[in-house]
Amino acid sequence: MLLLILLYFIKNYQLAKKILIIRFSSIGDIVLTSPVIRCLKLQIGAEIHYLTKQPFVTLLENNPHVSKVFAIEKRVGEVLPILRQEKYDYIIDLHHNLRTFLIKWRLPFVKSYAFKKLNFEKWLLTNFKINRLPTTHIVDRYLETVKPLDVKNDGKGLDFFLGTAIPNSKNLVYLKSTTYIALPIGAGRKTKALTIEKIVNICQKINCRVVLLGGKQEIKKANYIETIIKATEGKENLVNLVGKCSLLESAAIVKNAKVVLTGDTGLMHIAAAFHKPIISIWGNTVPEFGMTPYYPKGMDLNTIMEVKDLPCRPCSKIGFEDCPKGHFKCIEQLEVATVIKQIKELTKN
């Protein structure tokens, strides 16, 4: 009996590793790493530290599976001294770029595993429309990175933790008592987002309340949409919160939404973490890149809206500020009537 107890403690001591996960950006990409965090913590009892860029710390600081979050402003040298002190057993590099190479080079005695980015395959698809990408979702590819540590996909989907620090603002209190769809109007690149005309058309033809979300850079666009909707007779269904909410407040609004209508954005992945029905709009990027909304095993609440068979699509793995062809057919040819029909089916309104 004593031998069994001893073997148990030896086994668990060996499993209890200190691991640094690295993903510098951006919102969606970091949310998509959450299953790796959870599985490492719960399956092998690891102490998880996470390194990212300063603007994204809020995505991780409420995660109970993460013990420490480190952030850089510009250079990895800002955190190297403290990282050396931590004496990690492993580095899980989920960004795999020059900066992460420098970190691993400066921590030479730490075993590391790096995510395979498939940049060549993405280049083939965007430049020659030759698809050699695997059908595997990026989350599953992230988890492949930690397979040598005997970690398996638990099938529980994404995590996002709001914490207890969400301000009890008037907007949040009001929205908790009403049915609405959340509509992030921007994206990392403009070619991934709906145009003003498309958003106005949708808002004018549905009865359900629409909550616009976005950062300060989208305020002008949102105010223009609001002006048009207010001038539409009988339409009082728009709530413009663009530039008025923190990321966590926006996440809370997404969590309480009936449906989320969004482009290929970070809030799309946050919505999936909350198991929300999503209508996802795909402009210049395509689902084949492996970054569609990721739900728990057996759940799929995502409806993909895209213009298929455009010879110029995808034109980039991340997008552009303006259509390189000048016509923006990937959004302009999107059938608003189909989007509206799906919204009405999901909201019963």
pLDDT means over runs of 10, the chain (349 residues)? 52 69 97 98 98 97 97 95 97 97 96 96 96 97 97 98 73 75 91 95 93 95 95 86 92 95 97 98 96 97 96 93 94 96 91
| Helix 266-273 × helix 247-256 angle, to 10° | 50
With respect to residue 3, please indicate whether it lies within any of the assigned structural domains: no
The per-residue pLDDT for 178 is 83
State residue 165's pLDDT score.
Answer: 60
List the structure tokens of 137: 């979702």
140 and 271 part of one domain: no
Residues 200 and 335 in one domain: yes
pLDDT at 164: 76
42 and 113, same domain (yes or no)? yes
What amino acid is encoded at 311 in this protein?
P
Number of domains in the chain: 2
Instruction: Name the residue range of residue 44's domain.
Output: 9-149
Q: Does residue 293 fall inside a structural domain? A: yes
Q: Point out the domain boundary residue: 116, 149, 182.
A: 149
Determine the Cα–Cα distance for residues 284 and 282; give it in Å rounded to an integer: 7
pTM (2 decimals)?
0.93
Residue 182 near residue 261 (C-beta atoms within 8 A): yes
Q: Is residue 295 part of a domain?
A: yes
**pLDDT for position 175:** 73
Do 330 and 313 form a contact (C-beta atoms < 8 A)? yes
Distance in angstroms (rounded) separating the CA atoms of residues 50 and 31: 12
- Residue 168: the pLDDT is 60
Last residue of a domain, one of 86, 119, 149: 149
Buried b (16+ CB within 10 A) or exposed e, 264-301: bbbbbbbbbbbebbbbbbbbbbbbbbbbbbbbeeeeeb
Task: Locate 83 and state its tokens.
Answer: 């990282």
User: What pLDDT is attached to residue 223?
Assistant: 97
